[in-house]
Amino acid sequence: MPTLGADWFSYFWQTLKTRTRLFIFGQPLASSVHLEHRLPIFLALPVFASDAISSVAYGPEEVLKELAKAVGSPAHQLAFYIIIGAIAVLMLIVATSYMRAVNLYPTSGGSYTVAKSNLGPLVGLVAAAALLIDYILTVAVSISSGVDALRSAYPIFSDVVHLGPLSMKINVLVCVLLVLLIALANLRGTKESGAFFALPLYSFAFAVGLMIVTTFVRWIGGGFHLAQLGSMNTVALHLPPDIMKPETGAVLGLLLLLRSFSNGCSAMTGVEAVSNGVSAFQPPEPKNAAKTLALLVIILGFLFLGTAYAAHAYGAHPAGSETILSQVTRATFGMTGFTGIFYWLTQFATLAILMVAANTSYADFPRLLAFVARDNYAPKAFVTQGDRLVYNRGIIALTLISLILTVAFQADVSRLIGLYSIGVFLCFTLSQLGMAKKLATMKERGWVGGMTLNLIGMTVTGIVTIVVAVSKFGEGAWMVLVLIPIIICICLMIHRHYTWFDRIMTVRPEDFNPLSEPTEPLTVLVLVSSDVHRGILEGLECGRAIAEGRPGNEFRAVHIEMDPEKTERLKAKWRDFVEPYIGQEIKLDIVPSPYRWLIEPILDYIDWTDLERSGDRVIVVVPEFETGSALTHFLHNFTAGRLRTALLNRPHVTVVSSRFFMRPMAWRAGRGGLVF
C-alpha cells in the first residue's frame, strides 16, 4: 500500500478519493465471490440481447427502404414476405449454429474460438478483427441513432453548445455522456449492468409485443376498432408527407432483392453475443447460455416478423420524419386517449433501447479482447480483471475508441451506417464454416443435417457480406475492409513479440543460472547532490549494503558539479559526516558539467565505468526523500524522476531508489481511507 504523511491534507485527499471511488464503482469484489456475480437468464438477456432486439426498430424499415423503389411492381408484396421469411430462417440457422458452439466451446470466444480451432489462427484473427470493429461501431451507431430519435422530437438538440474554446452540437455532447454512462454501469460489474439495462429491454419487448398482438386481434376480428381505425381491409394510416416515392422505371430485379435482403439482415446483428460471453453465466454455463440464446431468437423472431407484418398490413412506408415502427404503433394505438399511452410508451422504450443497445458491445468486446490477448495476439493487460470482476481495461479501450469515432463523425448515423454490419456477417460466415468442419470431423449422430444447415447459412451470410461490402463500399465500407488487415498485422506483430519474449525469458535446465554461481562483479554508484543531507546518508548506507559481501565489487559516489562553490561545501560535509565512517570504502568522484547538464555527464560516467571495469553490472542508487505531504511533494524529486527515466533503458544498469521518509509516523491507504 502507498504510504503518505499524516498531515491533514493528505488524510482529506486520500479519504476523498477512496470514498468517491467506492461510491462510483462499489466495493471491490474478491475472486472467491465470482459465482455470486454471474448472470441469471433474466439479467443475461439485457446484457447480451440489447443490440439484437433493438434492431426490431430499424430492421423491417431497412427492407422497405429498398423495396419502396419498386413499390408498383406486382410482385412487391410477395417479395416483402419472402425476404422477411428468409431473414427469419437465416436467423434460426445462425442461432442453431451458435447453440452448438456454446456446448462445444463452453469457455466462450464465439466466432473467434470456432474459427481459430477449426480453420486456423489466421482465420480466427480475421473473425476477431471483424467482430471488434463491429462492436466499436455498434456503440457509435446505436447511441447516435437513439439521440437522433430524441433530436427528431426536440430540435433543440441540433443546436451548438460552446465549452470554452471548443464547440460541439448538443446531440454529440449527449452521445458522449451516454457512452460514459454505459461504460460506468459496466465498470460497476456485469450483474449491476444487467439490472440497469433490464427496464429498457423488457419495456421495449412488452410495448412492441402489445402492438403486434393488438394488430393480430384486429385482423382476426375483422373489424376491431381500437384507435378509430378501420379493419385491416380498410386501413386508415395517415402517412407522413415525405414518404419515399418509387423510382421511375425501377423494377424488382435480383440486385434490388439482394440489397433489400442484406439491409434487413441488420436485424441479426448481436445474435452472436451470447456465445462470446458464456463465462458470464451462472453454472451450468453452457446450458444457461443456450437457453438465453434460444429465448433471444424467439423474442427477436416474434418482434421482427410481427412488426414486419404490421408494417405491410398498415401500408407503412419509409419516411424521414417518422419511423416505420412509429407509424404502425400510431395506427394501432393512436396518439390520444387511453390507448395513446401505449404509443408514447413504445416511442420512449424504443428511444431507451436504442441508447442502451451499445451495452451488448460492452459485454462482449472486453471478453473477446481478453481471449485474443490470452492467445498472445493482443496486450496481456487485457486479460486481467479489475476489482469488480470485469475486464475494465477492455471497457476503457472501447469507450475511448467509441468516443473518438462518435466525435469524429459528429454522431451522424448516415456516415457511420456504411461501416456497420460487414464485420458481424463476416464472422457469421467464418463461424458457420468452422462449425461445418467441426461436425464433419466429429461425425456424431445427425452430423450430416447439421453440417448441411451450416453450409447453407455460410453461403447466405457470405452473400450478404459481399452485397453489403459492394453496395456500401463508397459509403465507408472500404474503411472496414482496410482496417481488418491492419488489425491482423498488428496482432501478428504482437504475437511475434510475445514468442520472442518467451524464447528469451524462459528458464531451461541447460541455461546459465546466475544464482548458482554469482561471480559477476558489481559497480555500485550512489548519486550525490550538492549537499550531504539525511537522504544522501540513507542512500550511501543502501549502496554499502549492496556492495558488501562479494569480492571484486567497487563502491563509488558520484557528484555532477554545476556550481563549484557548492562543491566546496559538499567536500566539507563529506569529511565531517561520511569519511569518519566509510571513508576507506567509498570514493567520491566529482564530474564537472560546464553546461549545467545532469543526465549527459552521468551517462558518460557510466560509459567510462563500463570501459574501466568491463563486464561489471552497474547498480545506480538514487537517493530520494518523501515529504509526507501531497501539497509539498511536487516541490521535490524532479531530478530523481528524470534520472530513472534515462537510466532504466541502459543495458546492464540497475536503478535502486533509496527513499528517506521525513515523517516517522506514516499512514497507509486502507479501504475506508487512511489508517495508522
Return the minimum-mean-pLDDT range out of 73-82, 127-136, 295-304, 311-320. 73-82
Classify strands 666-670 and 673-675 as parallel, antiparallel or unpaired. antiparallel
User: What is the pLDDT at residue 32?
Assistant: 81
Residue 570 reports pLDDT greater than 70: yes
Other C-beta atoms within 10 Å of 625: how many? 19
Which residues touch 118 (CB under 8 Å, ≥6 apart)?
433, 434, 435, 437, 438, 441
User: What is the pLDDT at residue 152?
Assistant: 64
Cell of 412: 451522424
Positions of E strands within 518-652: 522-527, 554-561, 587-592, 617-626
Positions of E strands within 234-377: none
User: What is the pLDDT at residue 666?
Assistant: 45
User: What is the pLDDT at residue 7?
Assistant: 58
User: What is the pLDDT at residue 208?
Assistant: 94
User: What is the pLDDT at residue 5?
Assistant: 47
Other C-beta atoms within 10 Å of 298: how many? 12
User: Rounded to an integer, what distance in angstroms lies between the CA atom of residue 230 and that of residue 217?
Assistant: 13
The CATH architecture one would assign to domain 522-675 is: 3-Layer(aba) Sandwich (3.40)
User: What is the pLDDT at residue 676?
Assistant: 44
Q: Which DSSP helix (H) or strand (E) runs through 655?
A: strand 653-661
Burial of 544 (0-12, 13-18, 19+ CB in 10 A): middle
DSSP assignments along 422-476, one per residue = HHHHHHHHHHHHHHHHHHHHH--TTHHHHHHHHHHHHHHHHHHHHHHHHHTIIII
Residue 664 reports pLDDT greater than 60: no
Average of per-residue pLDDT across 628-645: 73
8-state DSSP, 550: S
User: What is the pLDDT at residue 155?
Assistant: 74
Output the CA–CA distances (angstroms, integers) from residue 396 to 285, 366, 458, 628, 668, in the order listed. Answer: 26, 9, 34, 32, 28
For residue range 93-116, list pLDDT tens digits in order.
Answer: 888 888 888 888 887 667 899 999
More confident residue, 326 or 67: 326
Which residue is listed with cell 460492452? 362
Confidence of residue 232 (pLDDT cuts 50, 70, 90): very low
Q: Say how far residue 107 (Cα) sits from the centre of its chain.
A: 19
User: Rounded to an integer, what distance in angstroms lies between the CA atom of residue 181 and that of residue 186?
Assistant: 9
Confidence of residue 368 (pLDDT cuts 50, 70, 90): very high
Return the minimum-mean-pLDDT range out of 269-273, 355-359, 473-477, 657-661. 473-477
At 1, is the secondary structure helix, strand, or coil?
coil
Cell of 505: 525469458
Q: Say whether the peptide bond before residue 623 is cis (omega within 30 degrees of 0).
A: no
* Structural domain boundaries in the chain: 43-496, 522-675
Which residues touch 159 (CB under 8 Å, ≥6 apart)?
169, 170
User: Rounded to an integer, what distance in angstroms lies between the CA atom of residue 429 and that of residue 463?
Assistant: 9
Confidence of residue 4 (pLDDT cuts 50, 70, 90): very low
8-state DSSP, 477: I
Angle of helix 190-221 versus helix 359-374 axis, rounded to 10? 130
For residue range 187-216, list pLDDT tens digits in order.
Answer: 988 877 788 889 999 999 999 999 999 988
Return the minimum-mean-pLDDT range out of 70-84, 484-498, 573-587. 70-84
Q: Which among 247, 245, 327, 296 has a CA at the least distance from the CA of 44?
A: 296
Confidence of residue 180 (pLDDT cuts 50, 70, 90): very high
Cell of 354: 436504442
Pair 372, 397: CB distance under 8 Å: no
Q: Phi-psi category of 110—alpha, beta or left, where left has phi over 0 and alpha has psi -120 to 50?
A: left
More confident residue, 9 or 90: 90
Residue 236 reports pLDDT greater than 60: no
CATH T-level fold of 43-496? Amino acid/polyamine transporter I (1.20.1740)
